[in-house]
Structures are given as structure tokens and as C-alpha cells.
Amino acid sequence: MAKRIDVSGLTAYYSSHKAIEDISMTVEPRSVTAFIGPSGCGKSTFLRTLNRMHEVTPGGRVEGKVLLDDENLYGKDVDPVAVRRTVGMVFQRPNPFPTMSIFDNVAAGLRLNGSYKKNQLADVVEKSLKGANLWNEVKDRLNKPGSGLSGGQQQRLCIARAIAVEPDVLLMDEPCSALDPISTLAIEDLIGELKERFTIVIVTHNMQQAARVSDRTAFFNLAAVGQPGRLIEIDETERIFSNPSVQATEDYISGRFG
Amino acid sequence: MSNAVVQDTRPPASAPRKGSLSRRGLPRWAGAAFGAAGIALGCGIGLVFGLDSKVQWGLISAILFVLISYVATSVVENKRQAKDRVATSLVWVCFILALVPLVSLLWTTIKRGSKALSGDFLSHSMNGVTGFEPGGGVYHALIGTLEQVGIATVISAPLGLLTAVYLVEYGKGALAKAVTFFVDVMTGIPSIVAGLFILTLMLMFELKPSGFMGSLALSILMMPVVVRSTEEMLKLVPNELREASLALGVPKWRTILKVVLPTAIGGITTGVMLAIARIAGETAPIMLLVFGSQLINTNPFDGAQSSLPFYIWEQYRVGSDASYDRGWAAALVLIAFVMILNLVARGIARWKAPKTGR
Amino acid sequence: MASITTNTPPPPAAPAPALRRKSTGRAGDKVFLGLSRGSGILLLVLMASIAIFLSVRAGMAISKDEGNFLTTFDWDPAAQKPVFGIAVLLFGTVVSSIIAMVIAVPIAVGIALFISHYAPRKLAAPLAYVVDLLAAVPSIIYGIWGALVLVPYLEGLNSWLDEYLGWTYVFEKTEVGVARSLFTVGILLAIMILPIVTSVSREVFLQVPRMNEEAALALGATRWEVIRMSVLPFGRSGIISASMLGLGRALGETMAVATVLSPSYLISLHLLNPGGGTFAQNIAAKFDEANQLGRDALIASGLVLFVLTLLVNGAARLIIARRKEYSGANA
């Protein structure tokens, strides 16, 4: 299930602009890895290269290797559609399909693959919603549109939708930045539960959040505006926040810039 | 959530594919190859069965293209990819299918229109030329079109502009809502109905046909278009500008005249020019209200006039080779006029676009 | 003073005497507001008078009609006993417009998708531009092109349809003659409304929020599945209103129909047979020879056309307005 990600020498571009340069790291399975860094340092871009969403952006292209348990995501003959099914993603702003019901939203990924049985689908939807701690709140209105839920509920609906297809990895791009503190707490608790089953990578602007939810933390920075972002260091979260090995990390964490 | 529970939820269908991200795939040029195959087969069938209409060749090719795409993709790849490929093929087919008549239209107009087009054609009227003999020109029609469209613009541009200002800067409540709704509805009035309306006025007040009557009908068609586009442009003017001006104690009307309108003037000009381009091609109201003439009449307020689109209609109705040539030549002039207006208008829009980060 | 912004700061306090001074700004504001509101009101008056004047003349005509205005299959207001009815015109207008819609809407959606989602990026912008330009080609030019180029080209297709689909009755060709039929008119109208339907649909497709499309992509959807899950549901009402706008144009089109159709006062579901008529075409064809009553009769038929397009356009606008609320709620 949960797989290890090995990135080596990864560089990503927007047309001719180099967004991130030469990033290498390992993401451990069944753990939460947080990406922190100032705005524009390329952490979201890097996250999107891990499921080949970066190339969806016009002009986006990638050099380097991303190994998912020894298989290169950017290898020849690799189908980006299959990659995205294996590496799920949750976005900054909750984005349930506005025209679909709650049930259909969760089932959307399964339906894409076509082969399922009716009752099995209901089971998976229930389990995914339970897995996202949302079942009790929505079980009586599964046929109502997903856009009628609150922001925090919508985000958990999106998480349920992502885990319903049983991905190996779950990428989260600032999943709480559009939410209130209570919803944020609910999502953070959920991340703690989900890491038992998935490899989780989360981008966050909030350092307390990184400290609370992650096992390992990677710090990204850029030399100057317009320069590509780079990975400064990655280590155990505890070490990063108490005794980082690079001065820039300490400066950022202690609030001296960023 | 225990680990074990969730393991069961994995849909069995995906199990065999798990672990392998790559798939057997068609090369990138496959789509083009299918297209070529479809066209080749379609033409082949057309030839063998002696179908003389190229329309049939094209339709057969299109259907074959979609079929080949589906079959080949579902054999080599899978059903989902095949569906995706069919959708792509269909979208391409739609595009090409639509392109054919539109290209043919432009091509025919240019090819056949350039035959009779000359300096003489542009500078002479049809005075003394019967429909069946070559010669004659569009000078009288050009004058008619320019005058009628010019008067229509003079009437409807200020009215449209003021209405748009009212809707954006003052509009609140029921009146504004009603105006908005009816502007929309008015955009959809068929030109012949606008012509009939002015005709009722002519019948009631016993007025004679003239270029001015045509202009009135054209104004009805032009006004809503001007209102709509001006409204869009005024809405793009950032509120900060208005507030900055008001905060300096400038009265609202001066704010609108000196700040809002100048900011949006590029877009407004574009809208007016596009509206002119639209009404310049209208035939039906001219037919009812201006009556048509073979002679040069420079006075739009008295007596029948001609206009370019009406001239085309007239020449088409004569039905001789010479008149068809004149008709196409006039069509070329009209298309050129409309296209130049369009291109210039869009050029202005790009050049003068308000910088609002859109 | 009316203000469109909710948070306009009040003008800063000027020195006290100036505040009391009867400023020219006030008068200017009144004049300006009066002018602009006046033109808005003028527009409403115009719409009302169109309806009223047409109705008055139509009433005068219908009272002299010896036939039934709705069901008579004839148009002869100059006869001793004037008879005229709109049955044939209504049938022809509706049928040709329906044919146009059936052909144009799917193709227009296809082209719109092509421009918004399929075409190479470098091609997309110029294509959109060309489509907008084509929407500006005057209808009389479509008309002569239709009559002189399209009609001969459709001969083959017509005999083909007759041969293989003749059993459907609709495609059976029982009369010889060139393809100056309602079917050909429908095809020409389809070509004419393609640009407008395409450009409105494309606008809507481009407005689909990126995050909706990314949601589908991140689940491992193919391009078609992204369109089916995100783009089409979001764009559905937009497509509907675009089609209605196209329908409005097709219903009222005059010149293109007048050039192509060879009119007759018969209703026939054999769509390939030459003949039939539409409101606008009939007005164009009969106007020259019409006497006083004849003109009023044509005005009466124009009134029906006016109401028809009013309904279609009104419906389209209502759908667009509803979509705005809907998408606003989910923004």
C-alpha cells in the first residue's frame, strides 16, 4: 500500500522559468512529511510534480526522477492518469464537484474505473467517509449536493474522495489554509489517523501545524525572487524545530524572515 | 480505522493494474495516422462507388476516422482510453466539419468577387446599366451604406452610452432591472421585425421611404449592442478610481466624464465599432424602408437609396452571370468593410485595454 | 447622491462655507442623471411601442382576413376575399430552426471544447478570434453562398439520404427539383449560428474553475473524463442559453432563407422536397407586391415572429441569470 518516494535531481519549469532546481529527497512510507518555506519557494510546485499534476499547467515541464517504490513516475510509457490514481491529492481550497451529490463525489474515482458492484460502491463510500471522519455528519444526506457542506466538511469530503480509490500516497497542498481553526483541528486529527495507511506529504504555511502533524519536515527556500526554489534540508521534525543544521532554517523558523 | 478494514475496500478491478504505472500505449502520432487512414478510406470508397458529392466523401471519412480510433485504441490500450480517444476524434471532426463551409464561404467570395471588382466598380452606380449586361458598380450603394450606418451610429451611440452609464453608475431598483432585461431581449429582435416597426410608423404618418427610415431601424438593432458592450467596459473600471476622484470632492457627473469614461474609452470604441460592423450587413430593414435605387442619391432624408447588402440581394435576384459577378464583388467589398472594422476594433481593444489584472 | 459602491468614503470635509455653497456639481449631477435615466426609459418606451404599433396594425389586418389567421394555408391579401394564414410559416420557421439546432449545437460544443481544451495552445487564441470574426459575416453573404454554392453541393447528399433513409418518411424525396428545401435551409442556418453558439459555449467552458478540473485530474481521470465530470456539468446551462441565442437568430433570419428556399404554401414533412416558408422569408418575398392590407398582413406575421423570438431570448436570459447565482454560490 503505502509506498516510499525517492526523488533525485528534480527540476521543474513554467515555460522558460525555472521554479525549482535539483531537488533530491526520500519520503518514508506510513509517515507524514511536511514541506515548509516562504511563499514562492516552490514547495507546492514540487508537490505537484509528485503526481504529475505540474505538467497540467500550461508550459509546465519536469526533469529528473521520481521513484515510487522503484518505478519512475517520469519513465517512458508511464501513463500520467495511472500515476494520479496511485498518488491522490487534496487541494488548498476544497473542490468537491459542484453538480454531484456527496455520495457521487466520493464514488467519482471508483466510477471512473468502471468495474464495481452496486453494494460494494456503497460500502466503499461509507468506509471512505468514516475514514475522513465525516460519516456521522453526512450519513443522512448523502444525496444532497456536496457544495452545501461547510468549508471544513467539504475539505474532508475531498479527502474521502481521494482515499476512496485507495491511493499509495496522499498529497495535501495547504489543506487547511482556507479553513477555520476548529475545522483545521479536525483535519489535523484526521491526518494523524491516515498516516497509518498512507504515505502523506503536506505543504503548509503554518509552522505550528508542521510541528504538530509531521514526522519529518523539509525546508525549502529561494536565494532571491525570480530564482528557483531549492531544498535546504530535510530531517526529523523535532530536529528541524529544535536544532536545525542550517542557519537559514533556524532563521525562518524563529520568524526572522518569511 | 484499522488497517485491515480498509484493505478490503480496494476495488478488485484495479488490483491487476496496481504496481504498474505504465501501460501499452499508442504512439503520439496515432491520432494523425487514424485521421489519414480515415480520409484515405473515405476517398477510396467515394471513388469506388462513384459518389459524386464531396460532402459524402467527407462524411464517410469522418465516420471511419472515429471508428478506427475507437477500435484501434480499445484493442491496443483499454476501454477508457478508447473513449477518451473517440472524444478527441469527435472534437477534431467537429472542428474540421465546421471549417469546411466557413472556408468555402470566404474562398468563394474572394475568388468570385475579385472578378468584377475594380476601380470602376467602386466609383460607378448602376445608372443606365440593365441587370443582364456587365459593368456598373456599387458607388451608390456604398454611399447609401455609409450614410445610413453613419446616421444610425449618431443616434444610437450616445443613447446606448448614456443608458450604459445609467445602468452601471446609477442603476438601482426596478427601473434598472427592467432596462437590463429589455436590453437583453432587444439584442434578439430579428432585423426584419425592427424594419416592420419603422414601417408601421411610416404607414401611420404617411412617410416616404428614405435612407433615414433605414437608419432608424438600424439604430434599434445597434443600441442594445452598444449598451451591452459599454456596460461590460464600465464594469471593468476599478472602483478605486471612482473613489479616488469622489474623495477629492469632484462631483459624480464630472467623475464619470473625466475619470470613468476616459478609462474605458478604448473598450467602448471597440464595442461601437463591432456594432457598426453588425448593422452594416443588415439587408431586411433596408429592403422594407429604403426601397433601393440604381441611382446616386446623396440625401439620406429624401428618396430611395441603396446599400451594399441590399445591392447584393438585388443582383442575386436578377440572376444573370453579370449580376452574380457584381453580387459577389459587392459581397467582397462588404466582407472587407466588416472585417476591417472588426480587426481595427479588436486592435483598439487590445491596445487600450484597462489594466485591471484580468 | 446615488453611489454604486457600497464603501465609497464620503468626500472629505471642505471648508464650511464651501459646503453651503450651492455647487454647480449638484445641477450637473441632476442633468447627467436625467439624461442617462432618460435614455434608459426611452429604450423601454421603444420596446413597448414596438409591441403596441405592431399589434395595432396586426389587428387591423386580421379583422379583414377572410380566412383563419392561424390555420389558413395561403397568403393572398390582395384577392377579392383576402385570405392569409401563418400555419405554413410557423411550421417552416420552427422546423428549419430545429434542424439547424440539431446540427449546430453538438458541433458548436465540439468546436468550443476543441478551442478550450484540445487545440494546441498556440492555435487556440487565433481560432477563437477567427470564430468571432465569422460571427460578423453578414447574413446576405451566407445567403448567396448558400444558394449558389451549397445548394448544388447538397444534391448528392440529398439523393443519398432519400435512397438509404427514405423509409423514415422525413427523408423521402417525392418531388424532383433542386435542393431548395427546408432541410437545406436548416443546414445553412446551422452554419450561420455555429460561430455564435461556439463563442458563447467557449466562454463558459473557459470559466470552469481550474480547481474543478484538477479535482477530476487528481483522481486519475482522462481528458474526456475531466470534461464529462467537470466541464460539461458546469457548462450545461451555458450551452443551453448559447443554443437559445442561436435559436433566436435562426428563427428571425431573413436573407439566407429568402435566397435559398423556393417557397410554397404547403406543409410537408418530406423535408427534402423544395417548398415551405418562414415568417421572415415570407415578409421579404411578399413585400414588394403587397398593397396596404398586404403590408399589414405581413406586419401581423412579423408580430408573431417578434413574440416567438421574445420568448426564446427571454428564456435564454433567465437561464443565464440563474447560472450566475448558481456559480456565485460555489465560487
The predicted complex's ipTM stands at: 0.85
The distance of B16 to chain A (nearest Cα, Å) reads: 12
Asked if B256 lies within 8 A of C254 by C-beta distance, the reply is no
Q: C75-91 burial, b if ≥16 CB within 10 A, otherwise e?
A: bbbeeeebbbbbbbbbb
Q: Which residues of A touch B5 (CB under 8 A)?
A: 127
Q: Facing residues of A201 across strands?
A: A33, A171
Give the residue on C whose Cα is nearest the Cα of A164. C219
Q: Which helix (H) or strand (E) holds A202?
A: strand A199-203
- Contact yes or no for C277/C86 (Cβ under 8 A): no
Q: CATH 1.10.3720.10 residue ranges in chain B?
A: 139-352
Task: Determine the longest span between alpha carbons in chain B, in angstroms.
Answer: 97
Would residue C241 count as lying in a domain? yes
Beta bridge mates, A35: A203, A218
For residues B316 and B331, the answer to whether their CB atoms sit within 8 Å is no
- Give the closest of B102, B200, B274 to C54, CB-based: B200
Say whether C233 and A97 touch across the interface (CB within 8 A).
Answer: yes
Instruction: State the greatest distance between any 2 C-alpha atoms of chain A, in Å, as a whole number.
Output: 56
Say whether pLDDT at B219 is over 70.
yes
In three-state secondary structure terms, B247 is helix
Element spanning A10, H or E: strand A5-14
A172: which 3 cell numbers? 495535501
Residue C38 lies in a domain: no
Q: What is the CATH number of the domain that holds C165?
A: 1.10.3720.10
Are B14 and A79 in contact (CB < 8 Å)? no
Report CA Rg, chain B. Answer: 29
Select the more confidently predicted residue: A57 or B352: A57
**Helical spans, DSSP H, in A50-180:** 80-86, 102-113, 118-131, 135-138, 151-164
Residue scoring higher pLDDT (C55 or B349):
C55
Instruction: Tell me the mean pLDDT in the region B291-304.
Output: 87
**Cβ pair C284, B192 in contact under 8 A:** yes
Question: Which residues of chain C make contact with B223, given a CB cutoff of 8 A?
Answer: 43
Q: How far apart are CA B340 and CA B267, in angstroms?
A: 17
Return residues 71-110 of B near A (CB < 8 Å). Answer: 79-80
Q: What is the DSSP annotation of A57-89?
A: STTEEEEEEEEETTEETTSTTB-HHHHHHHEEE
Closest CA to B329 of B59, B130, B125, B117: B117
Q: How large is the average pLDDT for residues B164-181?
A: 89
Region B289-304 average pLDDT:
88
Using DSSP's 3-state secondary structure scheme, residue C274 falls into strand
- Record: contact A165-C230, CB cut-off 8 A: no
Strands A216-222 and A229-236: antiparallel
The answer to whether B12 faces chain A, any CB pair under 8 Å, is yes
Crossing angle of the two packed helices C182-207 and C121-134, in degrees rounded to 10: 130
Q: What is the pLDDT along chain C (331 residues), one digit of tens a residue?
A: 444 444 444 444 444 445 555 555 678 888 888 999 999 999 999 999 999 999 999 999 999 888 888 888 888 888 888 889 999 999 999 999 999 999 999 999 999 999 999 888 888 888 888 888 888 899 999 999 999 999 988 888 888 888 888 888 888 888 777 888 999 999 999 999 999 999 889 988 988 888 888 999 988 888 899 999 889 988 888 898 889 889 989 999 999 999 999 888 888 888 888 888 999 999 999 998 888 899 999 999 999 999 999 998 888 878 777 765 544 333 3
Span B139-352 CATH architecture: Orthogonal Bundle (1.10)
C-alpha cell at A15: 515555460
For the cut 80, the answer to whether the pLDDT of residue A231 exceeds it is yes
3-state DSSP assignment of residue C175: coil
Write out chain A residues lying below 8 Å of B6, CB-based.
127, 131, 166, 197
**Rounded to an integer, what distance in angstroms lies between the CA atom of residue B87 and that of residue B66?**
9
Number of domains chain C is built from = 1
Contact predicate B289/B221, CB 8 Å: no
Has residue C121 been placed in a domain? yes
How many residues does the structure list for chain B? 358
| Contacts A131 to B, Cβ<8 Å | 1, 6
Cα separation, B224 vs C14, in Å, equals 41
Q: Helix or strand or coil: residue C257?
A: helix
Q: Which residue is closest to A112 within chain B, CA to CA?
A: B80
How far apart are alpha carbons B68 and B89 in whole angstroms?
Answer: 10
Residue C261's identity, in one-letter code, is: L
- The answer to whether A97 contacts chain C (CB < 8 Å) is yes
> Read out DSSP for A22-45?
EEEEEE-TTSEEEEE-STTSSHHH
Asked if the structure places residue C137 within a domain, the reply is yes
* Residue C129: inside a domain: yes
> Across the interface, do C219 and A51 touch by the CB < 8 Å criterion?
no
Q: What's the whole-number mean pLDDT along residues B117-136?
A: 86
**Among the ranges given (A10-24, A119-133, B68-82), the one the predictor scored with the smallest mean pLDDT:** B68-82
Rounded to whole angstroms, the Cα distance separating B103 from C231 reads 29
Domains of chain A (ranges plus CATH)?
5-93+170-253 (3.40.50.300)
Half-sphere exposure in the Cβ direction for B298 (13 Å, CA): 1
Find all residues with CB under 8 Å of C225, minimum gap 6, and list them: A112, B80, B84, C216
Establish if C210 touches chain A: CB-CB under 8 angstroms: no
| Partner-chain contact B342 C133, CB within 8 Å | yes
Asked if the C-beta of A158 comes within 8 angstroms of chain C's C-beta atoms, the answer is yes
* Bridge partners for A173 per DSSP: A203
A84 and C220 within 8 Å at the Cβ level: the answer is: yes
The domain of C195 spans: 92-288
| Domain contains C237 | yes
Residues forming a β-bridge with C83? C76
The residue among A160, C272, C138, C189 whose CA lies nearest residue B6 is A160
Q: Is C284 helix (H, G, I), strand (E, B) or coil?
A: helix
The set of cell numbers assigned to B260 is: 470613468
| Most A CBs within 10 Å, among C219, C222, C225, C326, to test the A interface | C219
- Name which of B1, B9, B18 is nearest A123 (Cβ-Cβ): B9
Query: What residues contact residue B204 under an 8 Å CB cut-off, 6+ apart?
Result: C53
- Residue B67 — pLDDT band, cuts 50, 70, 90? confident
